[in-house]
Amino acid sequence: MKKNGIRCVAIHIVLFLIGVSVNVTAAEIYKYVDEDGVIHFTDSPTKDEMVLYIKTGPENAKAYPYTPDKYDDIILKASRENGLSFSLIKAIIKVESDFNTYAISRMGAKGLMQIMPKNMKELHINDPYNPYENIMGGTLYLKKMLIRFEGQLILALAAYNAGPTVVEKYNAIPPYKETRHYVDKVLKYNYKYK
């Protein structure tokens, strides 16, 4: 049985490595050791005993070739459909993911515009790593923040980063270093991309 278990592990590892080299997609790979000592890897955990083994994210950005102009056509479409500035949308993408389609934040936000899973359904996003869906959904979310904060760009950007309820609580940029830095960076890149 041990011999079969070792063979099974070898097959799983080879398939896993082939999958990583062929499919350039974000992945969460889980590991599970069964009662016979056979190690299993999967991207669809079905047991509580399965533990996260590998997770792609911003630290893997260099593995995915990109250019800052790659998504300009989608950004332009999102800009026109939502009545928002092309340069502002592009600035948010730069700051959120540095144009890495497969970026995952430590909080679980995904894709180019770093959409939180809880917001995906409302924003019509089925695949957060699909550039079109992510940019269209992220732009819609930004528009909602601008409406919620009556066109006050600074507050809308703070809400995009920290969440709208926190911004409403302070009625200003929250006193979080990360959020203040985020707003400053987006404004800087917005000016640069104009």
Residues carrying an active site annotation: 96
Alpha helices in the chain (DSSP H): 2-22, 72-82, 86-97, 131-148, 153-162, 164-170, 177-193
Q: How far is CA 188 from the centre of its chain?
A: 21
SS3 for 111-164, per residue? CCCCECHHHCCCCCCCCCCCHHHHHHHHHHHHHHHHHHCCCCHHHHHHHHHHCH
CA gap 13, 11 in Å, rounded: 5
Task: Note whether 111 and 103 are within 8 A (CB).
Answer: yes
For residue 92, with 0-12 CB atoms within 10 Å meaning exposed, 13-18 middle and 19 or more buried, which class applies?
Answer: buried
Report the SS3 class of residue 70. Answer: coil
- Give φ, ψ of 59 to 5 degrees: -65, -15
How long a stretch of residues is the chain? 194
